[in-house]
Structure 1
Amino acid sequence: MKKIISVVTFFVIIAIHLVFLTSILLEKVDEIWMMLGVLLVTSMITYSYYHISATQEDHFLADLQDIFYIAIGGIFTYFLNVDLQLGAVIAAGIVGTLAALLPYLQPNSKTVKRIPATVYCGAFIGMTQQSVASNYSFVLFACLITGLLFIGAKNLFNGFGGKLGTLAFGGVAITSLLIYIFL
């Protein structure tokens, strides 16, 4: 089951990248060759990512904790960003810095060492503009979706930059899409 979730998450992330790049190109470039080039490069990247070996681990409680910490990061950043009007970058910087300091409080704890990455992933969600994320329920739902993507991609894309931001973008995009479809 974990392998199926991992494969589905992998292709969701690739689809998010493809849709994002395609929308940028359609907005800025009217050249069909550019689109074909993006599809070719995306296909090659997908092929190479998919053939990287990933070890599968099953830690249900740790996965639930990851969703919780993503939600903490998202809510706290959104609060600083929107309610205190500090701005998205400053708010995420504060949350990220505080999360990065946590492992120094308990240097021998494996659980505490995992917290900064998950909280910072949530901070990306909290950076969402108020015109997109109009309330805390949107942020919480986006954190849940992102948490599920995070769990599915836990052993994917390790060592590649942008994983946390991509997961957060995916969670916000999927949440926006669901709201658009159902409301």
Structure 2
Amino acid sequence: DRGSHGGILVRHGRELSSKLTPERLAKGAVVEELELVGERLHYRLIKGSGPPEGWVSLKFKGRDLVVHWHEEEEAEEDVPAGGPAADAGPIQVDWGLRRAMEDEALVRQQEGAFAAYLPRYEDPGCPLLEPKLRVLCFHGAGCAESGFSWPGTPLHEWAAESGAVELCAVNYPGRAQLAAAPR
């Protein structure tokens, strides 16, 4: 089923025939209900990754994709992966820089750059709401990132089974699909 390949399909409009967004809504994302029409939800993203606004289905093949959540409730699936990051404290945020980065990300998303620079990102169930580790696989002299990140490789299987690791196979100008891209 498509919902297990890295998130929930998001459409620009209420109708199932409306245009899909290039990005999916991440599993575990928190959204605000703007409008509910039957089994279709118009949302605004509060926490997590995915399109800032869009329409999603509440269910797929009888399985809940979107459920009501209250802050005081603990998600049943939320099992901490442990480690030093579990005990991390608060961080300071440069809100101006964050906003500039979000604006640039929106432009890049509309260009479809994400899929070009991070192929197969959704394969092991990414993006994750709160990953404990991101493994970046780059091209090297005489090899490619696919030697590590392709489905069926031990690293890919480990990342998929952990549920806490994002595997990012990075392309950059001059390599693979971006061979002709400006450097």
TM range (shorter): under 0.3
Which protein is richer in strand relative to its size?
2
Greater RCO (Cα-Cα under 8 Å, separation 6 or more): 1
TM-score between the two structures when normalised by the length of structure 1: 0.24
Which protein is richer in helix relative to its size?
1
TM-score between the two structures when normalised by the length of structure 2: 0.24
